[in-house]
Structure 1
């Protein structure tokens, strides 16, 4: 065997090692291949909703987000989800091999110590280390940060630092890092570079208007336009929210879950004790009606309409807050309806796109800006951008290895 042959074989072997390493690098500690090109249909599940069949819900999701843990002031973890919840999530992954599980950090009423932890290098390091340990122990595929909410430039700055350090620690392990934001919030280009996803909470928007539908379609679109219009966030990183609950049109503090709305409709129709599937007991128009006794919500068709818009804009996906509020029955479930459009073969017709009954009025448009509306054409192909990014990473990795 001559020297040229030996060198060629050596280079070929190095290339094989690089390819194998590249494939392995996409696996999280959950030991599964993470399909980053699949349209995300995520669902948050709080610890107080684990009475649902988590494995059954997982059939209609790409990502299950466990809500939540929180930082203590010393950088340790405060657990709201418990070991039984974590076992149920791990079983759901076993039963649904393509399902990712993600742990949520913070949230409303659970963000008290974010500032103390994010402001100190030692506590940041400890907190990120404990989150990594949690992921490794329970085969979790990522961390979703939800500080509600940084109040000044200093807090935004240290939050970005926390996200940056978390991403630097989690990413080499194949773990996702995401951040949840309200419409109008931003972390700037630096902050957005430190995360794989941004979960935009496109609901509860009626508080700014003082009434109406808290998640109407126009406000949903305008919140997306505002976020992308800054030119700092790639659209494929943006995941947008769909609520599985209703708010009263004028008494905004009054809330009902989507499941409660369906049960009320059954009761009013005198169909509670009738045999047969729920979908057959309801008025066939229920899939396109998003108002019931002055409570406004996303019906199946409006949830699908939002999903269709997200896909047309090249966004990374949608998420549901929260799946414990859904009515998990065939042809009734919001989650099922969203997944059919998100990752199924169903394409909405023009008639369907225009037929959703929206009695609250889309009025006001709290998130309008002065720039022309963006279109999917303006943003280019998200899939093509992801492909080029993967090729650049692959070339860079081959160069280093060889």
Structure 2
């Protein structure tokens, strides 16, 4: 055997031994690796899944409870813990695009409300307009003049934004009562868009108060008031004034805000928003906190007055007081209306106004708040995919 043949044989032997030892090492290492993997108890679920409880999901707290409060009210009447928004009412537009408040006392009340609300994480909104103007008469002609021309419209927008910034408020609510023509609705839509474009980048809100659009006697749509649907794309909330139906076809106190009337209002606005592709979460159903007398020469009274006369009146919707009959919405009616709004996908409830409510367990604010809270605590339904 020559040296070359011997060397070749040794190489073959070494290759064979190396392959054998490598195989042994790999087999042992793989067994160890499988031991590590199989020791993980989580792998058992891959063979036979364990039954697990469904995760708990906290319900959304997105529903709003918006309360208007008039500028002369004691700020302490507001139930800040239950309201998500307080709308301070009103700033009055001038024909040239300025704004007026009702003197130093109104400004002082606004600042007190803003400071107090902040402690309760409640937003404060400046209400603009309303039915009556500080200079006398209806607000309509003043408001229309301000928003019908581009220069005065822009001035009013800028005045409102500056005021909101200066007073550290959370936004603006527009209550133009009411756009009577196509021209009015176009002016209002342009004004709302321009104002929204200024407020929203500052993380401020914009809402509008709207007429119910339903006749309280015939329960049909009325064309007395016109809105441009594009306006609603630029607002956060649409506060429906579903009350004051007593003025339709003469005077009928019982038509202040009965349930069938409210039901038709909810149907109308739900359909209108669906047809125009607008989220119904923007819709907020308004309810009255005052009582309407059968005799129109007698003044309205607050729900607080009704309850103070007899706490049992809180459960009713009409009462004889001081020689006349008053119609109103008691706590059971408020619960019923709140459920109606929730069933139709509304974003919350609105009240006019906070100063009319009573304190304690008969509070209408409390009844609505509890109903909204209960609605949001409804269990989340899970559906299996088959």
User: What's the TM-score, normalizing by structure 2?
Assistant: 0.71
Structure 2 residue aligned with 1:107: 130
CA deviation after TM superposition for structure 1 residue 213, in Å: 3.5
Q: How many angstroms apart in 1 are the aligned matches of 2:101 and 2:197?
A: 23
Cα–Cα, structure 1 residues 94 and 241, in superposed 2: closer, same or farther, change >3 Å?
same
Corresponding residue SS for 2:255: coil
Between the aligned partners of 2:232 and 2:367, the Cα distance in structure 1 is 30
Is residue 323 of structure 1 aligned with residue 354 of structure 2? yes
| Higher RCO, Cα 8 Å, sep 6+ | 1
Spell out the pairing of 1:170-181 with structure 2 (5 A cutoff): 170-181=199-210
d(CA) in 2 for partners of 1:253, 1:148: 24
Q: CA deviation at 1:215?
A: 0.5
Q: Does 1:215 align with 2:242?
A: no
Maintained 8 Å contact 2:210/2:240: yes
What residue number does 1:40 align with?
A: 64
1:290 aligns with 2:314: no
Counterpart pick for 2:339 among 308, 312, 324? 308
2:252 equivalent to 1:228 = no
> For the residues of structure 2 that align with 1:116 and 1:149, how far apart are their CA atoms?
13
Structure-2 residue corresponding to 1:147: 176
CA gap of 1:346–1:176, structure 2 versus 1, over 3 A, is: closer
Q: How many residues align?
A: 292
Cα 1:251–1:77 shift into 2, 3 Å: closer
Structure 1 Cα separation of the partners of residues 259 and 285 of structure 2: 12
Q: Which runs of 5+ in 2 are unaligned?
A: 1-59, 134-138, 214-224, 381-386
Aligned to 2:95: 73
**How has the CA–CA distance of structure 1 residues 252 and 310 changed in structure 2, closer, same or farther, with 3 Å as cutoff?**
farther
Question: Does the residue aligned with 1:129 lie in a helix, a strand or coil?
Answer: helix
Equivalent residue for 2:291?
Answer: 246
Number of the residue aligned with 2:42: none
For the structure 1 residues 347 and 244, does the alpha-carbon distance in structure 2 shift closer, same or farther, using more than 3 Å as the test?
farther
Say what the alpha-carbon RMSD is for the aligned residues.
2.3
Deviation, 1:45, is: 0.3
Summarize the Cα distance change of 1:289–1:171 in structure 2 as closer, same or farther, 3 Å threshold: same
Q: Does 1:120 align with 2:144?
A: no
Do structure 1's residue 256 and structure 2's residue 283 form an aligned pair?
no
Task: Look up the match of 1:163.
Answer: 192
Higher mean Cα deviation, 245-254 or 67-76?
Answer: 245-254
How far residue 109 of structure 1 moved from its aligned partner, in angstroms, is: 1.4
Q: Which whole-Å CA distance do the structure 1 matches of 2:176 and 2:109 have between them?
A: 22
Classify the secondary structure of the residue corresponding to 2:372.
Answer: helix
Structure 1 portions without partners, runs of 5+:
1-35, 266-281, 349-380, 382-402
Q: In terms of mean alpha carbon deviation, does 76-85 or 299-308 score higher?
A: 76-85
What does the per-residue CA deviation read over 1:201-260, in whole Å, with 9 as the maximum and x for residues that have no partner? 000112215422311111001011112222234311111111100112464864111011
**Distance in 2 (alpha carbons) for counterparts of 1:263 and 1:346:** 32
Cα-to-partner distance string for 1:340-384 (whole Å, 9 max, x where unaligned) = 111247999xxxxxxxxxxxxxxxxxxxxxxxxxxxxxxxx9xxx
Counterpart in the other structure of 1:135: 164
Counterpart position of 1:19: none
Largest Rg, 1 or 2 = 2
User: 1:160, 1:190 within 8 Å by CA — same for their partners in 2?
Assistant: yes
Shift of 1:135: 1.1
**Could you say which residue in structure 2 is the equivalent of 1:64?**
86
After superposition, what is the alpha-carbon deviation per residue over 1:309-344, rounded to whole angstroms, capped at 9, x for unaligned? 11111101111100101112x211111111111124
Structure 2 residue aligned with 1:390: none
SS at match of 1:198: strand
Alignment of 1:95 with 2:95, yes or no, is no
Does the 8 A contact of 2:66 with 2:86 survive in 1?
A: yes
Check whether the contact 1:340–1:346 (CA below 8 A) recurs between aligned residues: no
- Structure 1 Cα separation of the partners of residues 374 and 75 of structure 2: 24
Counterpart among 187, 208, 232 of residue 192 in structure 1: 232
**C-alpha distance in 2 between matches for 1:102 and 1:150:** 22
TM-score, structure 1 normalization:
0.68
Structure 1 residues 78, 314: CA separation in 2 closer, same or farther (over 3 Å shift)? same
Helix, strand or coil at the partner of 1:200? strand
